[in-house]
Structure 1
């Protein structure tokens, strides 16, 4: 497994994801989104893996105005707006090669271990 965890140091779900992989002795790379945002290619890959842009959005994001702006924007501009507003992502975003999951999803991660 080649695990990448995108999140922030303050996010409780990100901390829980890190603990999940540490407890199972699965090495991972942590990327703090406050220091380095996802590239367009990374974000597009994650979006395809989780089933679309809507799955990436955090309904509890602090910036509800930006969230609504993305939700009600024309389809062709949504990706660009999310790329500019990565604080709206549901954290953590966990990647394993071409697979990805948003939010705290131990059941999904466990399925990766058995593949």
Structure 2
């Protein structure tokens, strides 16, 4: 497995995801989204694995202005807007190759090989 966890150090679900993999002795790479964020290719890959760009947005994010703007712009502009405003993405984003999840989903992670 090649696990990547995208999240923030303050996010409780991100901490729980890290603990999940640590307890099982599975190595992972943590990427702090406040420092680095996701590339366009990573974002596109995660979006396609999780039912589209709109499913990646945390509607309860602190930055409600960015959420509202995202919801009301044209579909073709949403990818670029999400790249600019990654603080509204549901965390953690956990990737294993082409597979990925949004949020804390240990039941899905247990099935990964």
Query: How high is the TM-score relative to the length of structure 2?
Result: 0.97
Q: Superposed, which structure 2 residues align to 1:1-115 within 5 Å?
A: 1-113=1-113
Instruction: Please state whether the residue corresponding to 2:5 is helix, strand or coil.
Output: strand
Separation of aligned partners in 2, 1:87 and 1:37: 9
Separation of aligned partners in 2, 1:59 and 1:103: 13
RMSD: 0.7
Deviation track 1:75-108 (CA, whole Å, cap 9, x = no partner) reads 1001100000000000000000000000001111
Query: How high is the TM-score relative to the length of structure 1?
Result: 0.95
Unaligned 5+ runs, structure 2:
none
